[in-house]
């Protein structure tokens, strides 16, 4: 076996793995990830893997900027750097930057800007472009390519058994997310509860996927709607997070109930779809009888659940549509302002702590369609969004993280304040453009909203 990470024989080791993510507040960092659609400028089609305008050539050209290739079965499927950042491929070739863990949002935004300069330089040579939206606006899924990553073949086969839109999620969506630290189990629980409750607010503010197959889909965040019909075993609101006694162990119990996808051994993905990690711990996994999992297997398994907030050794905020450059910096600003300042975290918890499970479900169900206009209590999600942004703004002020010219991190919230104060989401701006100046044609989105 090529994987030399420690073998797991008990649940306690899985709990300790999550708990090992706790780090002192002065060591907290910010990791930002974003995905974008690559397309050919001449016909707007997505890039195949091979060919002069293909993904393989694009990755090869990016190595001039110090990226090191990662191959699988002879195909380059990712690029990495020593700082922990990586460029990876989603199933249909969506290009993802997984940024390095950084101390403040100024550095995060600098990293995103550097990445976009690099990919635009390569794009200019190849006759390709990049688009930041939540769902592929023009091409049906049947015309989207598949990248040569073996784990995707396993998921491609399994997804339709559990929901109607899993393949749409894989091939046709793009997101931006931020990964944040915690210093204790108590802090993690509070952060998890606040961020899970407020994830629909982020979904509304970032709603940017109103089209499907070149027409309005009826949703402002079709990407978010897709997750409601992907796989009930590994998505959803996680009501147990709000129950007494929630902590690392309860999340481990949840993950042990999530069916597996695969086991990675000696460069090969072994299909274990639908099988139980509990059986794996007992040495009874049908795909690998007699073998016990390693910590690396557990790390891999943690990536196969897709709730709106996901726990690893850090918390991942997963509710936002992909978007333009300015909003890639706004998402970490929102969540850092809310969760990294103790007073803001307390304020946000007081805001959401009496929300009922029915209200959480209502928001999750309605926000993809109505975004800021979703009715909530005596007002709308738009009203809640303004309160949330004020709270985040105060938290960023208190952080006092200044850039080289003395500006703090609050400036990165400006695009979100403009959305909340106007009451118009990015998706509604797109729909106005489609109905008026684009005259019912989707193609101009690839010019007007390209990176």
pLDDT given for residue 326 in this prediction? 86
CA distance 100 to 81: 9
State mean pLDDT over 409-431. 98
pLDDT digits (tens, 9 = 90+) for 272-298: 999 999 999 999 999 999 999 999 999
pLDDT given for residue 95 in this prediction? 98
pLDDT digits (tens, 9 = 90+) for 128-155: 999 999 999 999 999 999 999 999 999 9
CA distance 134 to 311: 23
CA distance 409 to 333: 7
CA distance 293 to 429: 49
pLDDT given for residue 80 in this prediction? 98
Q: Which helix (H) or strand (E) holds 215?
A: strand 215-216
CA distance 113 to 328: 10
Domain 11-258+305-448 has CATH 3.40.50.2300: no
Q: Are 77 and 149 in contact (CB under 8 A)?
A: yes
In order of 133, 150, 289, 354, 392, the CA distances from 35 in angstroms are: 9, 20, 37, 34, 24
pLDDT given for residue 163 in this prediction? 97
pLDDT given for residue 4 in this prediction? 67
pLDDT digits (tens, 9 = 90+) for 220-235: 999 999 999 999 999 9
pLDDT digits (tens, 9 = 90+) for 177-209: 999 999 999 999 999 999 999 999 999 999 999
Query: What percentage of the chain carries pLDDT values higher than 90?
Result: 98
pLDDT given for residue 216 in this prediction? 98
Helices 342-352 and 325-339, interaxial angle, to 10°?
A: 90
State mean pLDDT over 162-172. 98
In order of 8, 12, 107, 291, 313, the CA distances from 277 in angstroms are: 11, 14, 38, 12, 19
Domain ranges within the chain, ordered by starting residue:
11-258+305-448
pLDDT given for residue 399 in this prediction? 97
CA distance 151 to 66: 27
In whole angstroms, what separates CA 269 from the centre of its chain? Answer: 23
- How much helix, strand and coil, in percent to the nearest 5, is found in the chain? 45, 15, 35
**What SS3 class is residue 295?**
helix
pLDDT given for residue 2 in this prediction? 43
């Amino acid at each position: 076996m090529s994987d030399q990470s420690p073998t797991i024989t008990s649940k306690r080791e899985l709990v300790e793995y999550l708990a090992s993510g706790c780090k002192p507040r002065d060591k907290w960092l910010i990791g930002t990830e974003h995905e974008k659609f690559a397309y050919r400028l001449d016909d707007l089609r997505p890039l195949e893997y091979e060919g002069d305008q293909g993904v393989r050539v694009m990755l090869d050209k990016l190595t001039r900027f110090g990226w090191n290739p990662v191959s699988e079965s002879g195909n380059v499927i990712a690029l990495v750097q020593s700082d922990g950042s990586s460029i990876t491929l989603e199933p249909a070739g969506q290009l993802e930057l997984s940024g390095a863990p950084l101390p403040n949002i100024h550095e995060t935004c600098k990293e995103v800007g550097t990445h976009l300069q690099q990919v635009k330089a390569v794009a200019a040579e190849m006759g390709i472009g990049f688009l930041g939206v939540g769902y592929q606006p023009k091409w049906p899924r049947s015309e989207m390519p598949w990248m040569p990553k073996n784990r995707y073949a396993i998921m491609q086969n399994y997804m339709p058994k559990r929901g109607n839109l899993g393949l749409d999620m894989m091939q046709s969506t793009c997101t931006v997310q931020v990964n944040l630290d915690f210093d204790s189990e108590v802090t993690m629980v509070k952060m998890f509860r606040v961020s899970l409750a407020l994830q629909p607010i982020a979904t509304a503010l970032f709603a940017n996927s109103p089209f499907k197959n070149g027409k309005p889909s009826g949703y402002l965040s079709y990407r978010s709607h897709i997750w409601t019909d992907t796989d009930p075993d590994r998505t959803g609101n996680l009501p147990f997070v709000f129950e007494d006694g929630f902590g690392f162990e309860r999340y481990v119990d949840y993950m042990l109930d999530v069916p597996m996808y695969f086991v990675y051994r000696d460069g090969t993905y072994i299909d274990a779809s639908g099988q139980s990690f509990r059986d794996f711990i007992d040495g009874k996994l049908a795909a690998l009888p007699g073998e016990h999992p390693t910590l690396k297997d557990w790390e891999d398994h943690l990536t196969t659940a897709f709730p709106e907030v996901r726990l690893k050794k850090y918390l991942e905020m997963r509710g936002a549509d992909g978007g333009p450059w300015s909003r890639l910096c706004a998402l970490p600003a929102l969540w850092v302002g809310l969760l990294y300042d103790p007073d803001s975290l307390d304020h946000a918890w007081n805001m959401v702590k009496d929300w009922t499970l029915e209200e959480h479900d209502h928001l999750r169900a309605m926000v993809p369609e109505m975004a800021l206009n979703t009715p909530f209590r005596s007002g709308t999600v738009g009203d809640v969004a303004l309160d949330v942004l004020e709270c985040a703004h105060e938290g960023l002020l208190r952080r006092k993280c200044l850039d080289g010219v003395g500006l703090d991190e609050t400036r990165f919230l400006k695009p979100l304040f403009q959305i909340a104060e106007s009451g118009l989401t990015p998706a509604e701006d797109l729909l106005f453009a489609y109905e008026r100046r684009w005259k019912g044609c989707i193609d101009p989105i690839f010019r007007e909203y390209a990176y």
